[in-house]
Structure 1
Amino acid sequence: MPKTPLPTSLRQLYNEDFVCWVEATVACLREKDTEQLDWEGLIEEIEDLGKSAKRELESRLSVLLVHLLKRCYVNLPDNYRGWQLTVVEQRNALKRLLKQSPSLKTYFQEVLGEVYQDALTEAIAAYPASEFPAAYPFSNELPALLTEEFWH
């Protein structure tokens, strides 16, 4: 059965209507129609998927570290429960993300120092009267970071 050419090139769709581009690309892939595929757009989107997962890891790690810093170094007992709940929420999300993409464990080690510095800056801005450690105070081991209650 001859393949019906698309009325608009996939490259043009990529620039004009992303959802339509995705649907047309999926149809081409299912039909194994490699001639009409927008290879540049497809490669770009697949690369972005990996970048998106890395951004999510950085974001969740940052929120986790900010709330660990608050819980451990800010003396506001009325806020402890809320900070601890955020710690649990971010840990659970990180565990799910790392289960889906175990290779992100290596990336975690690469960005931990930088993410900590950003989290420290945020914690200091929120609580300038509190003293926070300049050097990373928690475990460098991912399992410990995702389970230990550092405030005991």
Structure 2
Amino acid sequence: MHRRLPYRAALTLAAITLAGCSAEDRPVGREGARTSPSGPDDRRIALYQENRFQVSQGARYFTWYECGGCHGDSQADAALNLADGRWRHGNRFDQVYAAIAEGPDSHGYAARMPVETLWQVTAYVRDLERNSPPMRQRQELDQKREPGAGG
């Protein structure tokens, strides 16, 4: 005999399922990044930092632009380790963005990356400390196998 979910339980399950998808919404739309963050309260930050798709795009570009050469787990010394949560120029989104785009150690990424790519890389870099070293290594290997990846 097949049991049917009560109406309220079915609605709750549907709401939870739909809510879980919002973390992977792909289009950012008109509110997307066309300029650098205006500060720590820029409402666009959540569109990137809290969106799994945008963070994963940042991981892709992190690999494509060969950022891991200096900032990967195996290459980075303590001062260059981005996964430890300690940041020389501050850890707020706008501070990390500025350090990547314009900072003295950035190698001119503002001139080399589109603005939206900078937002995505910033979201990924800020997300690094949430992932274990094996997870980061797996992501790095996966990204290197993608068409168009580094080199």
**Shorter-chain TM band:** 0.3 to 0.5
* TM-score normalised per structure 1: 0.32
Higher relative contact order (CA 8 A, sep 6+): 2
Bigger helix share: 1
* Rg larger for: 1
* TM-score normalised per structure 2: 0.32
